[in-house]
Structures are given as structure tokens and as C-alpha cells.
Amino acid sequence: MRIENPHRVIAIGNEKGGTGKSTTAMHMVMSLLYDGYRVGLMDLDRRQGSLIRYLESRRRLLASLDGSVQLKFPEEIVLASDELPEFDRSLAKLLETNDIVILDCPGNDTPLSRRAHFAADMLITPLNESFIDFAVLAEVNPESLAVGNPSHYSRMVWEQKSLRQRAGLAPIDWVVIRNRITNLEDGADNKQNFIIALEALQKKLSFRVVTGFSERAIFRELYPQGMTLLDLKEFKIDMLTQVAARQELRQLMKELAIKRKPEMQNLLMAKNSGHLKQVTA
């Protein structure tokens, strides 16, 4: 039975590299898979191909195992071209067999990127806490923190929002993720100014802001292996040192507010109820 989910198509878009877009995408995909969703995936950035390479590494990892560990995979479609009819057919196919489809958008403005943004029920834009990255969304006066004109990317997103409205579709739920966060005292003032400017821009462009991942070496170590934080348990790897990282992932998925499948929600409620009985017994 098809689940009632307002976020069936989730696009991850940003016109700047180095913001943790691939890390966010692959952990979202695996988190949804471990939660019981059927997940489809299209990496539309064929030149960069970060998610394609990640899944290739994951398949090599699986092939090297003795069968004692089962790794989860999304249903993946690799486009042969950037032609819009091929994208439309592929998206329709993935929606037939999956609960949620993730689109990893290219880092430049192309017809394919625009079509993916138009198709998105939810748009996720990872952003480092830097005014260099802030320029992806809008101009800002570094002294007064006054927000100026929206960027080319923000105008493109707004155009796709308007097109969806005219087509009678639900508004895009645009989410900006504060990513690769550092906890160093050095630069604390700049960080606070960034947050102030982002809150001002949030009101102008109608997006919501959630907290993503801190800057951690574990993400750079897991990517070439085709693994995520969620796989460490399957390999019985000591995760005590990664408690904070896993908590960030849980909090991110909670703030994104993607509905769970009803049967998974019921299972978790029953499990929690059992734990509660044990504690109060």
C-alpha cells in the first residue's frame, strides 16, 4: 500500500561544492532504508558522480564479504543523458516502486537541474557556516548584516516554486542545512553573524533551517568504503566514539520531518512500550 507521505521526491541542490552534499545524501538514503522505506535514487550530477562512486564502492564492499553482513541499497537509475524525457520516465519508474525518491542535483543551472527542482516536494540545500557559502543564496553586507539581492540559485528555486504553484502542486518544502559545523572558539563572532544573516534571509525566501553534521573525520573515512554511520553496527564496529555523530543524524532526520511508514512506526511504538514496561516493572 502506498504510504501517505508529502515528501515523495526529495532533491538535494546547491551550486557550490564542499558543503557535505554527498555525505548528507548518502546518510539520508541509508537512514530511510534502515527505517523501512523503499528508496529510489538518481545522481543527476553525471560529471561529478559522487553518489554513483559511493554505491560502486558499496557494491565492491558487499562482494568482498562472506555473506555474514547484509548491506542495504536503494533502487538506482543512472541516466544515459541529460535529456528531460529520459529523466521524466526514470522518475516515474522509481515512483512506481519506491516510497521516496532522492535526486542529487548537478552543481550548475541546467534544464535537468531545473526539472529536478520543479519535481521536488522537498528541497535540501546544505550550507557551510561561511559568508562565502552564504553567497549561494544571497548578497549580504558583512558590516551591517543586511541581506541584499537573492542569488541566481535562489531566483531559480523561486521560479520553480512559482511554476509548481501554477501547476496546482504543493509548495516546495525548502530546507537549508547548516553543515560541516565547527565548535572552535576561533571565528565564533563570524558564526553568530552568519546565523543572524541566515535568519533574516529565511524570512525573505521562505525556507526553514535545520542543523546538519559537524566537521568530522569519520565521514571522510566512510565514504571511500561505501559505508555510513548506520552500517557500523552491522559490522559490529565499536561505535562509542561515534555517539555524537549518530545523534546528529537522528536529529537531522527528525527535523526534516519525513513521515515514517505506518508499519515501522507501529513496530517502534511497540518496542518502546516494551522497554517502558521493563523499566517500570
pLDDT (tens digit, 0 to 9) for every residue of the chain, 281 residues total?
333 456 799 999 988 777 888 889 999 999 999 999 999 999 998 778 889 999 999 999 999 987 778 899 999 999 999 999 999 999 999 999 999 999 999 888 999 999 999 999 999 999 988 888 888 899 888 778 788 899 999 999 999 999 999 999 989 999 999 987 776 655 567 778 888 888 889 988 999 999 988 888 888 888 899 999 998 887 777 666 688 888 999 999 999 988 655 455 445 445 544 443 333 33
Q: Residue 102: is it exposed, middle or buried by C-beta count within 10 angstroms (0-12/13-18/19+)? A: buried
What does the alpha-carbon distance between residue 262 and residue 270 come to, in Å, rounded to a whole number?
A: 12
Q: What was the pLDDT predicted at 117?
A: 96
Q: What was the pLDDT predicted at 261?
A: 55
Q: What was the pLDDT predicted at 184?
A: 60
Task: Give the chain's domains with CATH numbers.
Answer: 9-280 (3.40.50.300)
pTM of the model: 0.86
Selection from 10, 14, 34, 23 nearest residue 213 by Cα:
23
What does the alpha-carbon distance between residue 243 and residue 90 come to, in Å, rounded to a whole number?
A: 37
Q: The C-alpha cell of 41 is what?
A: 535514487
Of the CA atoms within 13 Å of residue 29, those in its CB half-sphere come to 31
Classify residue 259 by its DSSP letter.
P
Q: Which residue has the cell 526529495?
A: 10
Would strands 147-150 and 138-140 be described as parallel, antiparallel, or unpaired? antiparallel
What does the alpha-carbon distance between residue 142 and residue 152 come to, in Å, rounded to a whole number?
A: 20
CB atoms within 10 A of CB 60: 11
Would strands 39-43 and 75-76 be described as parallel, antiparallel, or unpaired? parallel
Q: The C-alpha cell of 48 is what?
A: 561529478
Q: The C-alpha cell of 241 is what?
A: 566514539
